[in-house]
Chain A
Amino acid sequence: MNTTTADRDELPIAGDDDVVRVRQLVRTFAVKAKLSLVDQTKLVTAASELARNTLNYGGGGVAAVELVSNGRRPGIRAVFTDEGPGIPNIDLALTDGWTSGSGLGLGMSGARRLVDEFEVETTVGRGTTVSIVKWAR
Chain B
Amino acid sequence: MDRVPILRIGDVLLVSIQVDLQDQSVLALQEDLAEQITATGAHGVIIDISGVEIVDSFIGRMFATIASTSRLFDADTVVVGMRPAVAITLVELGLTLGKVRTALDLEKGLVILRRSAAERLVSDGLDESDEHDEAVRADS
A interface with B by C-beta (< 8 Å): 16-17, 19-20, 23-24, 27, 37-38, 40-42, 44-45, 48-49, 52, 96, 103-104, 106-107, 109-111, 113-114
A118 CB, nearest partner CB in chain B, Å: 13
**Are A41 and B95 interface neighbours, CB within 8 A?**
no
**Are A24 and B20 interface neighbours, CB within 8 A?**
yes
Q: Which of B24, B83, B85, B86: most chain A Cβ within 10 A? A: B85
**Are A44 and B53 interface neighbours, CB within 8 A?**
yes
Task: Choose one: A20, A38, A40, A45; the contact of B55 (CB below 8 Å).
Answer: A45
Main secondary structure of the interface of A (DSSP, over half): helix
Q: How far is the CA of A104 from the CA of B59 in the complex (A)?
A: 11
B interface with A by C-beta (< 8 Å): 1, 20-24, 53-58, 60-61, 83-86, 88-89, 92-95
Task: Choose one: A44, A52, A106, A107; the contact of B54 (CB below 8 Å).
Answer: A44
Residues of chain B contacted by A52 (CB below 8 angstroms): 23, 56, 58
**Are A41 and B88 interface neighbours, CB within 8 A?**
yes
